[in-house]
Amino acid sequence: MTPYPVIHNGGTLQLADLQPLSYQELGGILAPLLTRGCRLVTCFADPGPNDDFPLSIYTVVAEDAANRLAIFRAVGEQVLESLTPGCPQFHLFEREIGEQFGVVFKGHPWFKPVRFHAPWPGKTDAWNRDPARHPLAGDMEYFQVAGDEVHEVGVGPVHAGIIEPGHFRFQCYGEEVLHLEISLGYQHRGIERLLAGGPWPQTPYRIETAAGDTTIGHMTAYSMVVEALSRTTIPEKPAVIRALALELERLANHVGDIGALAGDVGFLPTSAYCGRLRGDYLNMTAAISGSRFGRGLVRPGGVLYDIDQDMAEQLRQTLAKVSAHTRGALNLFFETPSVLSRLEGVGKVSLQDAAALGMTGVAAKACGMDCDTRRHHSVARYRREYIDAVIESGGDVYARARVRQREIDQSISLVNQGLYKIPRGPLRMKPGKLAAESFAVTMVEGWRGPVVHAAVTDREGRISRYKIVDPSFFNWSGLAMALRNEQISDFPLCNKSFNLSYCGFDL
Amino acid sequence: MNFYQTSVFSSLLFHLLLLLGISPLLPGIIARTKAVIAGRQGPPLLQPYSDIRKLFRKSMVISRTTTWLFRAGPVVGFAVPLLAAMLVPFGAMPAPLSFTGDLVLFVYLLGLARFFTVLAAMDTGSSFEGMGAAREATFSVLVEPIIFVAFVVLARSSNSLTLNTMLSAGAGGALFSGPAAMSLILISFCLFIVLLVENCRIPFDDPNTHLELTMIHEVMVLDHSGPDFALIQYGAAMKLLLSAVLVLDLILPSSGSMLFDGFALVAGLMVLAVCIGLVESAMARLRLIRIPQLLVGTTLLSFFAFILVLR
């Protein structure tokens, strides 16, 4: 028995089972945990029924080796002693809670806004900004380096390519980057607040667009939350179809990413082929659900579209052809010396830094961290399928590209196997009412890494607080670390090797 | 000598025809080659002509922080390749303008164009353009020795200080049989590298990238638009043609017939453009910090050629 409550991925807890701790006690328990191979998964505050202080601060820590999640509830007053100095993983979560609820974290190394939105209704502003004016995105103090020959380069929020908006502030000494600070928030839509009081009829559409390139990942995580809270066990068939769609999403994005890396280093053949192949994988998802990104495929209780025998056969044939081309394009990329010399040793992140920042997903696997939700926190249905997390040790651009290449191989065989084994049965089981005063957390290994959704329900069984953590939330800090003492001209390549979501961060 | 004088006019005409008429075709051929290799359809061969025509009809956006220098960059960038080309024989067609020591003028005319492009870039005050200007200036310092050593080798092997005679090595067949054959082969290779660097081709620069932070030449002209940008594009195409002619002058043999040699030069230009397209398709860009190493290596190669010719 552990001294704190633990559940498995997709499990629930009664709120009454969570003993409230003080924020200090929480820090005392977490500090040793987080240095012992456990990862901070999510942390968020909920004002509770009276919409007033003290807040409840929920924290979820993944104990990967034990395949379980530890849940904590701490009491949050208006002013708290920051945990960031001891557990750097908290740095963004604390800034986020400060921005939403006006909680001031004393001792936080640099307490400033994250997404530049006004405090939530009825809350004070942690920075005493003018309540009449909406905060401007990017309006904060940046880290600055002074001295001769030191110069500052600001990039964005409007970029040259067709990408999302974000601001990057480089402190450079000649061509060398001393420090990079990333400021996001330009796409903040307030998704989490829109979900409170739900589930609403429009909730699935909002979840699907939390990060549009991870539609299946986010929607599966949300569906699992609803299923957990309503105690619904979905039939076997939709579980398999969800898993297939998730792997197709991974394939499309990983292939597209390697193509983009090739484009960045100016290696045209792989760039052109991967651009086309990404479309082929997206079209396979479209063949199932009518949407290239799988919108409308996954819903709480199951899926809305079937894969029948004919379609499975057709998909197998397409996959055989497309995967052969994919392997060809990737092998060409990884066998060209001029390409390898661009990738190797660029944008290194050490395993220690990755662990301290709580990095997850592809970027963490590339640093040698053994973390894959499919392996450590698999939900019963998938357990027999997954064997190993793909791990590299370099922590550089090459390692991140290699993780993708190997995951592509893995996913192709998973999809292939899955298409032979689509069980018979119903597509969906309507979930019932959500349990009142409960807590649920789910993790899904999206293509970037674990997509984490957590929900707290109120007395009537409505969602009182919904929390989404896209892997990008942790990994943007990793990108900033990767650029330390690198060439500024290598930034686009490093950025592409992480390929993080802006809207998944901004929510 | 009489023949030479009468042909000054026709030589001028031939130079201008190639520079103004044919030059935009070369980037078109390169783009098409790259497209074919990558399995794409690619833009039409004559796309650069349409681009330049389109840009000339557009209006310009000029930042209020800039001065006359910003406008001067494109004009100098257009005029200089035209002027410099007048000193260079195009295949068997001698240069319209020739005098002893014109090779120094040639190198510094190109330097002048770069100087003005760099000034125009810094005039905008943009941090990107400042970085691009710094990179351009750094790499040009490393390219200049290659060109000079190459010219010294050519001057030595042809016992002349005019580009007209120095660059007739190919026409005279010295590349294949003469005593300096080995060093001429090395010099041709060095000049091909110079062609790739000077015209911002892969592996040194990527003319197609949209990533401001990795660009060298492209980032310096980010703020130019409309007719100014058309002049830059046109000037860049002429510079590409001029650099290609330098290489071809060394390797194309002469048949004795002026007409045939003219066609051979144009065909050679197209083959060279295809070669550039192949190089760009076959390899990735170098890391920026590796470029100086490659350039120093090329300088060493030109020194070897020099030693061989001293023998």
d(Cα B215, Cα B207) in Å, to the nearest integer?
8
pTM (predicted TM-score): 0.89
Pick B284's closest partner by Cβ from A154, A266, A492: A266
Q: pLDDT tens across A341-371, in order? A: 989 989 999 999 998 999 999 999 999 888 8
Alpha-carbon Rg for chain B in angstroms:
19
Mark yes or no for CB contact B288/A487 under 8 Å: yes
pLDDT of residue B1 exceeding 50, the answer is no
Contact predicate A249/A294, CB 8 Å: yes
CA atoms within 13 A on the CB side of A67: 8
What's the Cα-to-Cα distance from B239 to each of A240, B52, B136, B166, B246, rounded to whole Å?
60, 15, 16, 20, 11
State residue B159's pLDDT score: 86
Answer yes or no: do A151 and B130 touch at CB < 8 A.
Answer: yes
Is A494:A173 a contact under the CB 8 Å cutoff?
Answer: no
Nearest beta carbon to residue B210 from set A161, A341, A487: A161
| Interface pTM, i.e. ipTM | 0.84
Give the domain range for residue B84: 2-310
pLDDT reported for residue A67: 83
Element spanning B208, H or E: none
Q: Taking Cα atoms as reference points, which of A276, A240, A274 lies closest to residue A260?
A: A274
Whether A479 has its CB under 8 Å from any CB of chain B: the answer is no
* CB nearest to B37's CB, from A155, A268, A342: A268
Q: Is the dihedral of CA A208, A497, A284, A234 positive or negative?
A: negative
| Cβ–Cβ under 8 Å, residues A389 and A21 | no
- Find chain A residues with C-beta within 8 A of B212's C-beta: 155, 160
Contact A210, A468 (CB under 8 A): yes
Peptide bond into B43 cis (omega under 30): no
Return d(Cα A6, Cα A63) in angstroms, integer: 9
Instruction: Enter the tokens of residue B145.
Output: 């020795």
The answer to whether the CB atoms of B38 and A346 lie below 8 A apart is: no
At residue A1, the pLDDT reads 55
Rounded CA-CA distance B299/A295 in Å is 58
Give start and end residues of each alpha helix (H) in B124-223.
127-158, 163-166, 169-172, 181-198, 217-220
Q: What is the dihedral of CA A253, A254, A256, A262, to 10 degrees?
A: 160
Per-residue burial over B46-57, b if 16 or more Cβ lie within 10 Å, else e, is eebbebbeebee
Residue B281 contacts A, CB cutoff 8 Å: yes
Please indicate whether, in this complex, the C-beta atoms of A487 and B284 are within 8 angstroms of each other.
no
- Among B211, B216, B223, B293, pick the best mutation site for testing chain A contact (most A Cβ within 10 A): B211
Q: Helix crossing, B226-251 with B68-85: angle to 10°? A: 30
Measured on CA atoms in the order A216, A217, A219, A221, is the torsion positive or negative? positive
Residue B145 contacts A where some CB pair is shorter than 8 Å: no
Strands (E), A184-312: 298-299, 302-303
B97 neighbors B177 (Cβ within 8 angstroms) = no
Contact status, residue B94 vs residue B162, Cβ threshold 8 Å: no
Write down the pLDDT at residue B256: 76
Using a CB-CB cut-off of 8 Å, the residues of chain A touching B38 are: 268-269, 271-273
- Kindly tell me the sign of the dihedral angle through the C-alpha atoms of B298, B300, B304, B305: positive
Q: How far apart are CA A249 and CA A294, in angstroms?
A: 8
B40 lies within 8 A of chain A by CB:
yes
Of B40, B203, B289, nearest to A272 by CB-CB distance is: B40
3-state secondary structure A152-199: EEEECCCCCCCCCCCEEEEEEECCEEEEEEEECCCCCCCHHHHHCCCC
Is some CB atom of chain B closer than 8 A to the CB atom of A79?
Answer: no
Tokens for A378, please give them.
Answer: 């698999």
- pLDDT for position A180: 92
Q: Which of A152, A180, A177 is nearest to A166 (CA)?
A: A180
Among A190-199, B136-145, B168-177, B201-210, the minimum mean pLDDT is found in B168-177
CA distances (Å), origin A449, targets A218, A320, B261: 11, 26, 62
Contact A153 B288 (CB under 8 A): no
Per CB-CB distance under 8 Å, the chain A contacts of B128 are: 153
- Count how many residues are written for chain A: 507
Give residue limits of the domains in chain A: 203-465
Among the partner residues A160, A487, A493, nearest to B212 by beta-carbon distance: A160
| A155 in B contact zone (CB under 8 Å) | yes
Q: What type of residue sits at position B263?
A: F
> Could you tell me which of A478, A377, A423 has the C-alpha nearest to residue A92?
A478
- pLDDT tens for chain A, 507 residues long, are 577 888 888 889 988 888 888 889 888 888 888 888 788 999 999 887 777 788 889 999 998 888 888 999 998 888 889 999 988 999 999 999 998 888 999 999 989 999 888 888 777 888 888 878 888 888 888 888 988 889 888 887 888 878 889 999 999 998 899 999 999 999 999 999 999 887 889 999 999 999 989 999 999 999 999 999 998 888 888 888 998 999 999 999 999 999 999 988 888 888 889 989 999 999 999 999 999 999 999 999 889 998 988 999 999 999 999 999 999 999 999 998 989 998 998 999 999 999 899 999 999 999 988 888 887 777 755 555 556 778 888 899 999 999 999 999 999 988 888 888 888 888 888 888 888 889 999 999 899 999 999 999 988 889 999 999 999 999 999 999 999 999 988 998 999 999 999 999 988
> Looking at the 3D structure of chain B, how many domains does it have?
1
Q: Residue A446, Cβ neighbours under 10 Å: how many?
A: 29
CATH number of A203-465: 1.10.645.10
Structure tokens at A72: 């904590």
Which one has a higher pLDDT value, B183 or B237?
B237
Cα(A66)–Cα(B44) distance, integer angstroms: 60
Q: A470 in helix, strand or coil? A: coil
For residue A264, the chain B residue with the least C-alpha distance is B209
8-state DSSP, A56 = E
Q: Between A160, A265, A490, which is nearest B284 by CB? A: A265
Among residues B187, B220, B163, B152, which one has the least CA distance to residue B298?
B187
Provide the pLDDT for residue B2. 46
**Structure-token pair, residue A390:** 């793909």
Instruction: Say if residues B116 and B125 touch (Cβ distance below 8 Å).
Output: no
- Closest-CA distance, A407 to chain B, in angstroms, reads 24
DSSP conformation letters of A59-106? EEEEEGGGTEEEEEEEEE-SEEE-STTT-GGGHHHHHHHHHHH--EEE
Pairing of strands A150-155, A167-173: antiparallel
Taking CA A59 as the corner, what is the angle to CA A53 and CA A64, rounded to the nearest 5 degrees? Answer: 180
On whether any CB of chain B is under 8 Å from the CB of A271, the answer is yes
